[in-house]
């Protein structure tokens, strides 16, 4: 089983989770869902978003079979305009590899985390485990609570 800062954090919070090991490469949301034999709706992906002006970067967390609606996301965080970070920018800001960016790895790292409202429709969801090839299944309410995320319609 993979042990990293994310799993240690979940252990410290006594939050139950299951680790799934996947190929150590960047996978899309639907490809990840297929490998996990899970519905794409419960396999969430993380997208780093930049504000046009000063302020914290945003981590948008959406189901693997959807895309972030930048206008809805901007409105949810009180901005007029936001834009997705390039892969290089995302990796530099998060210090994580694309495909391994996890909202749980970015707690207390200066990100505003916004999770798609559909997270409330499911008991459990899959998210990246903070490194390539590591995926976690955990309670959707634990994900929202532990990340102190805003829940909004962002797709």
Strand, helix or coil for residue 103: helix
**pLDDT tens digits, the chain, 155 residues: what are they?**
577 999 999 999 999 999 999 988 888 888 899 999 999 999 999 999 999 988 899 999 999 999 999 999 999 999 999 999 999 999 999 999 998 999 999 999 999 999 999 999 999 999 999 998 999 999 999 999 999 999 999 99
Q: Which domains does the chain have, with CATH numbers?
A: 5-152 (3.90.960.10)
Tokens representing 93 are 């800001």
Half-sphere exposure of 25 (CA within 13 A, CB side): 5
According to DSSP, the residues that pair with 61 across neighbouring strands are 46, 115
Number of neighbours of residue 89 by Cβ within 10 angstroms: 14
- Note the helical H segments in the chain: 5-12, 29-36, 70-76, 87-94, 140-147
């Amino acid at each position: 089983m993979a042990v990293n800062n994310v799993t240690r954090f979940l252990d410290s919070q006594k939050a139950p989770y299951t680790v799934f090991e996947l190929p150590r490469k960047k996978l899309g949301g639907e490809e990840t869902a297929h490998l996990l034999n899970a519905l794409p709706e419960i396999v969430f992906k993380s997208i780093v978003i930049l504000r046009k002006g000063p302020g914290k970067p945003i981590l948008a967390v959406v189901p693997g079979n959807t895309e972030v609606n930048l206008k809805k996301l901007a409105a949810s965080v009180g901005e007029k305009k936001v834009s997705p970070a390039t892969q290089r920018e995302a990796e530099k800001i998060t210090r994580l590899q694309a495909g391994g960016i996890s909202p749980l790895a970015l707690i207390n790292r200066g990100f505003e985390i916004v999770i798609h409202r559909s997270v409330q429709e499911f008991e459990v969801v899959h998210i990246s485990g903070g490194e390539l090839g590591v995926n976690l299944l955990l309670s959707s309410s634990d994900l929202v609570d532990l990340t102190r995320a805003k829940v909004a319609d962002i797709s």
